């Protein structure tokens, strides 16, 4: 009975790590990222060539996405010398600990960023096209035009309700961050 619970607990955390892995891969590299992550997560480790074969995505694209995922710290890689081709083969690994560490790091930097934003007391400028907010400094630097799409920025002097909501959201994120210690 005890063993059963333990096993169930283990697979639960692996399942969570898989879902987080696929979520992050999609955020980083879109639908192809998601497909690649799904294949890698169910196999544990693979080469770019094998992933390309299984997903039907071009191997160069697969390599590029795997590199991006690696740069974001969500998977790890090893070089395996290949005597057959006189070259090295890269193998990529899905690993629970690596994924959860990357997730925690991202959550932490998001909390730090949002805390900074929620403490900002200047005027915000809003782009109705991109649905983005900019600080007064950034808006002035760009002549009060959106640096992304060029639309005229709108002044948003009264954001008290949004700030209250944001602070509440940051508090929720902090609570979630503490929870990730026990995943």
User: Toward Zn ion, which CB reaches closer, 43 or 145?
Assistant: 145
User: Between 105 and 152, whose beta carbon lies closer to Zn ion?
Assistant: 152
Chain residue at closest Cβ approach to Zn ion: 146
Q: In the bound complex, what is the minimum distance in angstroms from residue 139's beta carbon to Zn ion?
A: 11
Q: Which is nearer to Zn ion, 9 or 150 (CB)?
A: 150
Binding site for Zn ion (CB under 5 A): 127, 129-130, 146, 148-149, 151
C-alpha–C-alpha distance, residues 36 and 54, integer Å: 9
CB of 142 vs Zn ion, minimal distance in Å: 10
If one counts every other C-beta atom within 10 angstroms of the C-beta of residue 153, the result is: 22
Q: How far is the CB of 146 from Zn ion (least distance, A)?
A: 3
Question: With left for phi above 0 and alpha for psi between -120 and 50, is residue 77 left, alpha or beta?
Answer: beta
**What is the C-alpha end-to-end distance of the chain, expressed in Å?**
22
Shortest distance (Å) from residue 159 CB to Zn ion: 18
Q: What is the DSSP letter of 74?
A: S
Query: Which residues, listed in sequence order, are joined to residue 145 by a DSSP beta bridge?
Result: 152
């Amino acid at each position: 009975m005890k063993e059963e619970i333990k096993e169930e607990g283990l697979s639960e955390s692996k399942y969570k790590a898989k879902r987080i892995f696929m979520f992050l891969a999609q955020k980083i590299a879109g639908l192809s990222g998601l497909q690649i992550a799904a294949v890698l997560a169910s196999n544990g480790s693979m080469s770019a060539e094998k992933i390309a074969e299984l997903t039907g995505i071009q191997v160069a694209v697969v390599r590029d996405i795997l590199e991006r995922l690696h740069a974001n710290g969500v998977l790890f890689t090893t070089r395996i010398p290949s005597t057959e081709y006189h070259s090295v083969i890269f193998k990529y690994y899905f690993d629970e600990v690596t994924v959860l560490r990357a997730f925690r790091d991202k959550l932490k930097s998001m909390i730090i960023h949002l805390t900074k934003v929620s403490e900002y007391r200047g005027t915000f400028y809003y782009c109705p096209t991109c649905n983005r907010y900019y600080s007064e400094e950034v808006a002035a630097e760009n002549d009060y035009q959106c640096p992304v799409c060029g639309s005229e920025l709108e002044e948003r002097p009264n954001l008290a309700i949004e700030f209250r909501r944001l602070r509440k959201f940051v508090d929720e994120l902090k609570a979630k961050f503490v929870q990730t210690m026990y995943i």
